[in-house]
Amino acid sequence: MVQVDYNMPKNKNAQKAPQNDNNAAAQKALQQQIETLPDPVALSQALMNAYQQSQPLFMNMLQKMGQTPPSTELQNFDPDPMNVGSAATHFMNAMATNPLKFWDMQMTYAQKQAQLWQSSINKMWGQESKPVIKPQKSDRRFRDDSWNDSVFFDFIKQYYLLACDFVEQNIENAEGLSENEKRKLSFTSKLMMDALSPSNFAMTNPVVLQETLQTGGMNLVHGLQNMQEDFARGNGQLKISTTDYDAFKLGENIATTPGHVVYENDLMQLIQYEPQTHGVFKRPLLIVPPWINKFYILDLQPQSSFIRWAVEQGHTVFCISWVNPDAKLAQKGFDAYMFEGLIAALDEIKKITGQPDCNAVGYCLGGTLLATTLAWLKAKKQEKRIASATFLTTLIDFQDSGDMKLFMDDEQIDEMIEMMSRTGVLKAEELQRTFSLLRANDLIWSFVVNNYLMGKEPFPFDLLYWNDDSTNMPAKMHSFYLRNMYRDNLLSQPGGIEIDGIKIDVSKVKTPAYFLSTKEDHIAPWKATYETTQLMSGPKTFTLAASGHIAGVINPPSKEKYCFWSANDTPKSPEDWLKNAEETTGSWWPHWQEWIKHYADGQVEARHIKNPLEPAPGRYVQVRSN
């Protein structure tokens, strides 16, 4: 979690005030440190003003909460939702079995605390002092200079980071625990420590204190107003706003690539996009997005739309827009998503274009469906219907599927299936809550600080608007997915799963494939997605993009951000692949375009839409889960 400097030099005179000629400089340094602290009188006045101004709001909020019927979710509250209790018991047993080991770690922790105290005294008197511990570069909580400039807040920050490191080291060094138990304990303890961060409390966050002084406490009043609105938005539960929801409207400023729905059934609408070039590639392109979220992650604002960019490169682009299911579709299974989704789309594309095949792109769960369909088509001797396959951050082998697997043990899956049996679907907010926990500091606590402590409105961000527009999952489909993919990892086993009487064997797929993974992916870890290169039998190209599951994929060339790694071979070990890979600055999109040109089959005149049902982005994507 953190970088610890265990070579802190000791200074026996650190706590003594500097003598002789250095006194003046030391006194000046001390005065400067005092000035970094908030004026206690002004702060008291600001807090009193905030208290007086917020009383009507607070009472009104309590009254409304008292009138709201108790939530069924709260009534069915599970005190151990991640089933971490047994792991915690084993951890306590490990401490009791080998107390000297933990005592030694406790002593090391005490020494680091003493070094931190010395370091802070040195800094207070103006002496050079190295930090005992530093946040990771990716940790945005302590980026403001005030966390470093003030001895007081620097001490709070480092004391907290030392505590985090101590907890993590205790779990890592515990004997007799399985790796899965350690991962559960580490993840759960990190959630708790993230919640206790000094950045999340007004009186220990220097940025919040400065804002409180400047606004006379009105930031806290505005924060309470924001909280009240979020309670109303969540129908009595706190639903933290992550963006300005009024800033975006589908079809107007996001999901605006010109096109029409050309086919629909119970599960999906098929969108065809208008050509933007005189000629187009003969072989059309089908995009299969995940149905955990909506397709327009690939068609956000025009400057960051992969769909628009692909159309501009000369592709005839079709994209599936999945329905946001309700209980009526509870019995739609994984096979339905294949037959009524991907196979139905292939049929319609053939009717519309006259082409017997197409290139296909599958994103995340859409890629898992694409791989399953390729294996099914191979068994049916129809594999030529898809000329090439592109897999974006796709898991086929779920053995090492990252932190998501912490939510997928037998007890949790059984509980989830039982809940879905009552509602017919896995509700969107359940999945959204899980994804938020995977990045709690970015997707929860940063907005708590911004919205409630700083009293500011969240920034209008199209990606976060999409992230909050999540979808339900049909009970039958999701039960199959959890058991067969995440828990039992059967898709990676020849004949492990069966679709319509056909045993699925991904290893027999010889379709040329392009794999795109992202280096910081917390949903589909890149080393796990790399395993697919060892499963499929056809020509393979693997590319690794910088950043995460979304930002690494949605990275248009015009932004000139990040980088990607590529190599000609796909050895067994992902580490060996990375050693030999070449790094290229910028977006992976042009690299993919050069690859897929080999499967474009020449050019024809642009294909214009002839029998539209309704303008893109269509009705299905407009249905919100709440």
**Quick one: 360 exposed, middle or buried, by C-beta within 10 A (0-12, 13-18, 19+)?**
buried
> Three-state DSSP class for 249?
coil
Active site residue 358: no
The strand ranges marked E within 550-624 are 563-567, 582-585, 603-605, 614-615
By DSSP bridging, strand 540-545 and strand 513-518 are: parallel
Closest CA to 533 of 513, 553, 558, 547: 513
Q: CA gyration radius for the chain?
A: 28
Do residues 249 and 237 touch, judged by C-beta distance below 8 A? no
By DSSP bridging, strand 502-503 and strand 498-499 are: antiparallel
DSSP H or E stretch at residue 373: helix 365-379
Continuous H helices in 487-621: 526-530, 532-535, 574-580, 589-596
Taking the C-alpha atoms of residue 343 and residue 3, their distance in angstroms, rounded to an integer, is 50
CA distances from 504 to 84, 479, 499 (A): 34, 18, 7
Taking the C-alpha atoms of residue 242 and residue 253, their distance in angstroms, rounded to an integer, is 18
- CA 195, 200, 202, 206 dihedral sign is positive
Q: Which of 164, 319, 364, 563 is catalytic?
A: 364
| Residues annotated as part of the active site | 364
